[in-house]
Structure 1
């Protein structure tokens, strides 16, 4: 083909593509204008006119000039929503608290729809069957309408569904066995449903099933056996809540009433005494038998428990300095506890006597919680033998620098102990565990998700802690060196406190070079750790908060290849599916999309491959604080579990290998 012909064909294709985009955009505009003309009788949509850009109209958001979000709540709109079915790129549709009526039109063209809120209207008819085809749907709210008929079992096809609200309608029949593993927000109260609640929904509270008089089964009253009810059409069988009679049984027949009483049978005194003695003997024998069995199990369990507790004790060297001759002892200085200002004093022997439990293992050693005899709690890190220290002076100089760092978002170093065979660091104890445990621990049923407000608070606190380290000593240019979610702890007030800072100076070369998902590319290549590599690690931490994924390897799902978290996020964002990045647990909160995108942009800037393109930590702090103060949308929904952190128990023992392997997308 001649070059001129090839050029003409390419130009024609570009023109056709442009025309298609313009056509799609104009069809969205036409659909919105037609919708306004039929539903806006009160003139609330006065900004909607053909002379302005429709993407700037009230309640309308666009991507590439296509309408992706339509939020029109509580503005007295009436009529049908038929005109909206041509908005094929729509991802969010919320029409709550209006006066729409009639059946829901066919929504099967809205294949990108993820959030659908139609509550508090007058919609009628049966459950909209077309909704079942919306495979990307996360939230569905049809509550407070006039829907009738049965709830379809095919709802189980919506595998991503987190919210299903159908309360205060006129649905009837049985509740289908909806098996949705991610379902968190469910309600069918205030309908005409009957029969037994399926086991897949029995873990939800009683309140979500109330005001359905014929429902039974957990969590409501137990169901009786199915029995024919002649009062129901077609001899339908009804399963009713179990009731307990409160009066003696009476039998009516031939106009006579026979009441069973114990007065018709008289038992002799001798027989009564014999029955009582027999019961006592049998009960005594059974009690002895059970006692013997359970006592044996208890003693065995106690032995095992004592072994476990014994294994969790801190295994300090009873003589932490070398056992040598008297002459050598005189020439070598014995180890001693060195305390920083404001720390309650204690001796090494106090730590040896303290009850202790292991908190976790890290790259530099094992951490323990120690409870001293006076009740004071501290965290003790026992450094690994592989930690390289040139000498006592070098170690003391570094500890002196770290011990002076005091900030509300840092875990303070209280004391240290140095000897040739034992090196201990004593920190203040953080009772609410780590960010790692809050994000990844206890995944599955019964888990309390980490809400968005708390995640943003932790991100800001950790950023302030790292920024303080970077700015605390201009001449030394201190770095953290090991930023990760296991090193972001939470105090009693739920504030983020950064720990384990400044220890990377003692790490062996092979440890620093090894990638654990947080290391900057230049550090993996063997270059020296810098403040900008700290920024990269912090950016990975932000991505972990946003995605809920461990930052080692993420399976792409396309080719099956595993990539690190920053590259996976970049690939998803390039394909313009930014919403797919965010943790599914965050989809339950409304109006936080702009804030999440704002934090995502900060994280991507921090994880830039080019070192000079990364911001300083101080700048990152300002950007994060501006997200909630007004620069990132401001109108986010308050999270329902802000106080959950304050009631958290001690974090279980966690290892850095907990996130090993790949995580499928």
Structure 2
């Protein structure tokens, strides 16, 4: 019996060991199968990402039949692999075009680093918030040209390095970027960012560069240990730069003053003497015969007489403005230069300055650098045409200044800033987002002002041409005022095509021309922006060719589920009693965005439909079916749809 037991005990032990070995093998096989499965998923994801690029064919080693990773070795170019999964993507200097589809990249569970430096990527700023494990993002030297949404980096708690240098990004630094707990390196140089540099927390950043943007104001204390070169090319002050100054002036204005001082006084006296006999011949017909135009003509005659600076450059001695109305206070550039001033905004299309002249009157001077192809008489005549505009929803041009190299437009300052600021403010801004009744009021005012432009500027193919939220000013009681209207005829075509909203339309992108209903399309985009709170990619600094981004913006509204989720979460003042009216306005905006210009309503029809929208009641039936049927309901009569190149 004992011998029997002695023999069976080792057999049990052997059986147990065999089972352990078997389980170990199963575990190894399971891990290997998981790795293969992950590798297969990564392969499918990377092929999808390759296909999402415009010219993804350049990635010749990305072939679906090959595995992207073998353990820690990458089989496809631009990958870093760990345990058979993709940990990093580095595709630099590949001339890649398109945008970064973060929905696809989010399927790479092990991805912590991406680098697409020195490519041709562009469009809306990618939503990196869904890549929660990301540690490094490098996108320098591409063509991204939009504003970055305030919450774009929310949730990236592991992000340590961000490089966005040398793109065309605009707007303010998003608030979510300042709250990242592990961010150490931030490169933002060479963009169009504006506003003040926010606080990032004491000693948080170990490397940062803000140079060559449009930042203004005081450098935060926690960033003052960085070299001065990291802040150059802005309107910044404080350590490590100079002390903050209260007065900001245009370089061109300063040069003008220097020329005045440097030029012989005798030339001015000579010109004034001639003027007393000839000024009626020099001033374009129909303009007010006031002191400003007289002195401007004096400078013209002086230039013709041969007066010049010591370098041989003709000297324009005029510091005088041409006023477009015979009422109101008179002043000239010298008065503006004497006053304290501040930069309101700066971009490729123009820079705006706020200045208070004697007596406390506050003016805005907008400087344009893209009008140097226009002749003097033609420019004067166009300004005369704009001076006839009188409407409660149009901001009048008070005066202008003409030089061949640049033009200045002067208007009254509006306290409540722009519609764009109120729709897309930072969380730190002490302003309240407009509620539903206010937004409806703004839309109605914008359409009334636009109709007035159509009526009083019948010779213009696009009466506005640059309608967008940053060109809608708001008074204290939120009355909208249209600005930057009617400037297509006096803007250099190459700059107009690159910068103005009308040239982002489907008809221009597909046919190379704009129509009488292009402004209607711009209005539709504006209505969608007002109702959804989303930022369309039409910003000032972007280059042409962004119709895909605007199409995506429109489609994102169409594709959302019916109900309140489509509306801006920051918009208050709406409930079930007015949801139908809100949907009605949203549908009008969508119908204005028809790709075929001939299917869009004319301005009269748009105004009639928007005036029917009320603050409450008026529930509509199915959102998508009604929208899709609207083109068949519209009349094609109204304003001419003649096209222009």
Question: Which TM-score tier does this pair reach, normalised by the shorter chain?
Answer: 0.3 to 0.5
Give the structure with the larger strand fraction.
1
Question: How does the TM-score come out when normalised to structure 1?
Answer: 0.45
Question: How does the TM-score come out when normalised to structure 2?
Answer: 0.46
